[in-house]
């Protein structure tokens, strides 16, 4: 694992955007695995700014998002479909037909998840997978549990995740209780992984991801076994980790 310490959120976002830009410049037809959440918003903004200047070109890129709430339409403002359009895709020169998010509007969990696995496999898996990390060490919606998950599957969200995500809804009751998520095994198939993290509330999870035992009780800890994983995190998120 490569760990890059940044002074603050802005620095984290610029460095992460640099890594993603380099990937796309080196391979214009890159397959990117993408994440939602608050952490990557600055990275997406920076990439959009560079794209507007002509410094990075997404016209041949295809993307596969990690997860989506079950039961929300693609137009629902709380859906990850909507999040990706408004925070990223609408601001870059990507072909929307090349962007993919699990189909949360399909109530048939097995069919929706099987179809997503088929599409990700057919694309050859991401060249670069961008990840955030939950306070409990989750990646995608792969919550702590007795084993590491495999392919795309439906999950029941934990109380802590529902609570954390409720800040984006009017009330906790409105947070969907289920989601479809890429599995940990699929995430590990990516040829490179970039984790972004900021803020003190992520410090425990970041420590366990980088230095704890590889344990499904902290799903992100498996990233220690990936051969090309980079963590870009600010001082606060790395405050519990030893300085290299
Ligand atoms: C979102 C996702 C989640 C988030 C994590 C951190 O697609 O996969 O694992 O990355 O919950 O979320 P933020 O960045 O909001 O702290």
pLDDT tens string for the chain (244 positions)?
A: 999 999 999 999 999 999 999 999 999 999 999 999 999 999 999 999 999 999 999 999 999 999 999 999 999 999 999 999 999 999 999 999 999 999 999 999 999 999 999 999 999 999 999 999 999 999 999 999 999 999 999 999 888 889 888 888 888 998 999 999 999 999 999 999 999 999 999 999 999 999 999 999 999 999 999 999 999 999 999 999 998 7
| Residues lining ligand 1, Cβ inside 6 A | 35-39, 66-67, 132-134, 138-140
Q: Quick one: which of 243, 120, 132, 137 has its CA closest to 182?
A: 120
138 is catalytic: yes
Report the pLDDT value the prediction gives residue 62, as an integer from 0 to 100: 98
49 dihedral zone (left: phi>0; alpha: psi -120 to 50; beta): alpha
Instruction: Please give the number of the atom of ligand 1 that sits closest to the Cα of 34.
Output: 7
Report the pLDDT value the prediction gives residue 100, as an integer from 0 to 100: 98
Q: Which residues pair with 34 in a beta bridge?
A: 65
Report the pLDDT value the prediction gives residue 244, as an integer from 0 to 100: 72
- Distance, in Å, from the CA atom of 200 to the CA atom of 136, rounded to the nearest integer, reads 13
- Distance, in Å, from the CA atom of 27 to the CA atom of 11, rounded to the nearest integer, reads 24
Location of structure tokens 């599995």: 183
Q: How far is the CA of 121 from the centre of ligand 1 (A)?
A: 23
- Distance, in Å, from the CA atom of 209 to the CA atom of 195, rounded to the nearest integer, reads 10
153 is catalytic: no
Report the pLDDT value the prediction gives residue 37, as an integer from 0 to 100: 95
Report the pLDDT value the prediction gives residue 132, as an integer from 0 to 100: 98
Report the pLDDT value the prediction gives residue 168, as an integer from 0 to 100: 83
Residue 234, classified by CB atoms within 10 Å of its CB into exposed (0-12), middle (13-18) or buried (19+), is buried
Report the pLDDT value the prediction gives residue 160, as an integer from 0 to 100: 82
Cβ-contact 232, 11 below 8 angstroms: no
Instruction: Please give the number of the atom of ligand 1 that sits closest to the Cα of 142.
Output: 9
Q: How far is the CA of 140 from the centre of ligand 1 (A)?
A: 7
Claim: this prediction has a pTM higher than 0.95: yes
């Amino acid at each position: 694992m490569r760990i890059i310490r940044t002074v603050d959120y802005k620095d984290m976002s610029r460095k992460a955007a640099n890594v993603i830009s380099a990937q796309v410049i080196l391979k214009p037809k890159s397959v990117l695995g993408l994440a939602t959440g608050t952490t990557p918003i600055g990275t997406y903004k920076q990439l959009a700014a560079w794209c507007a200047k002509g410094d990075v070109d997404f016209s041949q890129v295809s993307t596969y998002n990690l997860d989506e709430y079950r039961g929300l339409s693609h137009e629902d403002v709380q859906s990850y479909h909507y999040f990706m359009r408004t925070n990223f895709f609408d601001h870059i020169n990507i072909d929307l037909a090349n962007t993919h998010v699990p189909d949360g509007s399909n109530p048939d969990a097995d069919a929706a998840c099987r179809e997503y696995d088929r599409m990700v496999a057919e694309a050859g898996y991401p060249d670069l997978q961008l990840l955030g990390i939950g306070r409990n060490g989750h990646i995608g919606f792969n919550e702590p549990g007795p084993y590491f998950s495999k392919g795309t599957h439906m999950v029941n969200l934990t109380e802590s995740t529902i609570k954390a995500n409720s800040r984006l809804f009017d009330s906790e009751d409105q947070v969907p209780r289920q989601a479809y998520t890429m599995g940990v095994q699929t995430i590990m198939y990516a040829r490179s992984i970039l984790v972004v993290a900021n803020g003190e509330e992520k410090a425990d999870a970041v420590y366990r991801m980088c230095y704890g035992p590889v344990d499904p009780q902290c799903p992100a800890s498996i990233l220690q076994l990936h051969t090309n994983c980079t963590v870009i995190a600010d001082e606060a998120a790395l405050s519990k980790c030893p300085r290299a």
